[in-house]
């Protein structure tokens, strides 16, 4: 079927490189939109955020699109050949798209292994039924078409870390359930699993249960303590330890009340010392703690203030009167 272009309402035309047309197969719709805008406004000095806004995509999607066209050689970088810049903040000047920060040798190797070209991705999809299945299942789980960055990251996690497809899909499903379905979050979890030696389906299920408990408890802690901010790394570590010990939000809230009563402010380290003390004594609910606090004092050691005795004098006298001394 032939299609005819309407040139009547057009002020002009712009060229599209053959290379770009040849690479459309792996290009996302967002990447195509960004490229067309750049080709039409080739002399513009707009930032990625501004370009993204102009074509209706986020700055993150714009960065991913630029990365794709750079990889296939359609957009050039270096020596000012690319007119695209990142948006500069009030105290930070605009920077190039590909800064070259100093990285350690392992990190450099990791980064190099991750830079899979679109042609290599296409090759892997064609030659590997597992990668083809991974991409298809990932799109169904995430509810969208994978971007170039997501494609190359999933292949990298599969090949470089050796993470099996079923484990990657479990991570993605968990990420969706937590409303954190970004490739960065998925990569972070996969990296942690790799470091912790989580390689079997059973290990992954246990870890997901642990993470579900942690994220549920973290959210409850933030809400119950009325923290209008995200938890700090140190606070997240405390919550992770509490979750691992199956501490309830009620017990944590009670420790929070004790903390406020004693020091007048939220301090997780102080709360943690209280909770660890209760845990060591086998207290798992506020009722357990209150029951312990309401126990009568020791018969022979009643702690009293001022000039009173720290023992029960009447009982000592009674004991002395009823005791017959032995003589040898």
What would you measure as the largest C-alpha separation in the chain, in angstroms? 128
Nearest of 162, 170, 61 to residue 113 by alpha carbon = 162
Question: What is the rounded distance in angstroms from the CA atom of residue 38 to the CA atom of residue 42?
Answer: 5
Assess contact for 173 and 141: CB atoms under 8 A.
yes
Burial track 188-197 (b if 16+ CB lie within 10 A, e otherwise): ebbeebbeee
Assess contact for 75 and 148: CB atoms under 8 A.
no
Assess contact for 247 and 280: CB atoms under 8 A.
no
Question: What is the rounded distance in angstroms from the CA atom of residue 250 to the CA atom of residue 120?
Answer: 53
What pLDDT does 297 receive? 47
Does 323 score more than 60 pLDDT?
no
Give the mean pLDDT of 129-156: 92
What pLDDT does 24 receive? 80
Backbone φ, ψ for residue 85 (5° rounding): -130, 160
Query: Quick one: the chain helix, strand, coil %, rounded to 5?
Result: 60, 0, 40
Does 45 score more than 90 pLDDT?
no
Q: Which one is predicted more confidently, 7 or 142? A: 142
Assess contact for 151 and 157: CB atoms under 8 A.
no
Question: What is the rounded distance in angstroms from the CA atom of residue 112 to the CA atom of residue 155?
Answer: 13
Element spanning 35, H or E: helix 29-40
For 67, 108, 214, 262, 311, the CA distances from 303, given in Å and listed in that order, are: 72, 65, 41, 20, 7
What pLDDT does 93 receive? 34
Does 168 score more than 90 pLDDT?
yes
| Interhelix angle 165-177/201-224, nearest 10 degrees | 20
Taking the CA atoms of 37, 38, 41 and 46 in sequence, report the sign of the dihedral they define. Answer: positive
What pLDDT does 275 receive? 94
Does 278 score more than 80 pLDDT?
yes
Range with the largest mean pLDDT of 28-32, 98-102, 214-218, 270-274: 270-274
Q: Is 152 exposed, middle or buried (0-12, 13-18, 19+ CB in 10 A)?
A: buried
Rounded (5°) CA angle 316-317-318: 90
Q: What's the pLDDT band for 8 if we cut at 50, 70, 90? A: confident
Nearest of 298, 319, 242 to residue 273 by alpha carbon = 242
What pLDDT does 167 receive? 95
Q: What's the pLDDT band for 129 if we cut at 50, 70, 90? A: very high
Residue-wise pLDDT for 48-98, tens only, equals: 888 889 989 888 788 878 878 887 788 876 544 444 444 433 333 333 333
Taking the CA atoms of 119, 122, 127 and 131 in sequence, report the sign of the dihedral they define. Answer: positive
What pLDDT does 203 receive? 94
Question: What is the rounded distance in angstroms from the CA atom of residue 66 to the CA atom of residue 75?
Answer: 7
Q: What's the pLDDT band for 41 if we cut at 50, 70, 90? A: confident
Q: Structure pTM? A: 0.52
Give the mean pLDDT of 269-275: 93
Q: What's the pLDDT band for 319 if we cut at 50, 70, 90? A: low
Bridge partners for 85 per DSSP: 47
Residue-wise pLDDT for 220-254, tens only, equals: 888 888 887 778 889 989 998 998 888 989 999 99
Range with the largest mean pLDDT of 35-39, 64-68, 303-307: 35-39
Q: What's the pLDDT band for 277 if we cut at 50, 70, 90? A: very high
Element spanning 256, H or E: helix 249-263
Range with the largest mean pLDDT of 41-55, 106-120, 132-146: 132-146
Summary mean pLDDT of the chain? 78
């Amino acid at each position: 079927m032939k299609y005819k272009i309407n040139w009547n309402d057009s002020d002009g035309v712009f060229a599209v490189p053959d290379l770009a047309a040849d690479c459309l197969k792996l290009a996302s719709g967002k990447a195509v939109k960004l490229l067309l805008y750049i080709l039409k406004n080739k002399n513009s000095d707009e930032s990625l955020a501004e370009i993204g806004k102009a074509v209706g995509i986020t700055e993150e999607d714009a960065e991913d699109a630029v990365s794709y066209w750079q990889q296939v050689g359609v957009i050039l970088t270096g020596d000012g050949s690319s007119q695209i810049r990142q948006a500069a903040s009030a105290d930070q000047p605009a920077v190039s798209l590909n800064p070259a920060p100093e990285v350690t040798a392992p990190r450099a190797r990791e980064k190099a292994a991750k830079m899979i070209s679109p042609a290599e991705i296409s090759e892997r999809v064609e030659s590997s039924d597992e990668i083809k299945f991974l991409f298809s299942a990932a799109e169904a789980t995430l509810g969208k078409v994978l971007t170039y960055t997501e494609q190359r990251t999933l292949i990298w996690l599969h090949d470089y870390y050796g993470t099996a497809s079923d484990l990657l899909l479990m991570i993605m499903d968990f990420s969706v359930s937590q409303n954190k379905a970004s490739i960065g979050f998925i990569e972070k979890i996969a990296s942690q699993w790799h470091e912790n030696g989580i390689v079997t389906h059973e290990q992954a299920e246990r870890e997901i249960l642990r993470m579900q408990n942690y994220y549920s408890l973290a959210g409850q802690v933030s809400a119950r303590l009325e923290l209008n901010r995200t938890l700090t790394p140190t606070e997240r570590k405390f919550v992770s330890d509490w979750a691992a010990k199956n501490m309830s939000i009620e017990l944590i809230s009670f420790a929070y009340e004790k903390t406020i009563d004693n020091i007048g402010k939220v301090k997780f380290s102080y709360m943690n010392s209280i909770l660890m003390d209760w845990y060591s004594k086998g207290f798992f609910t506020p009722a357990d703690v209150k029951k312990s606090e309401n126990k009568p004092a020791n018969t022979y050691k009643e702690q009293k203030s001022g000039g009173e005795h720290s023992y029960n004098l009447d009982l000592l006298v009674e004991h002395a009167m009823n005791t017959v001394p032995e003589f040898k």
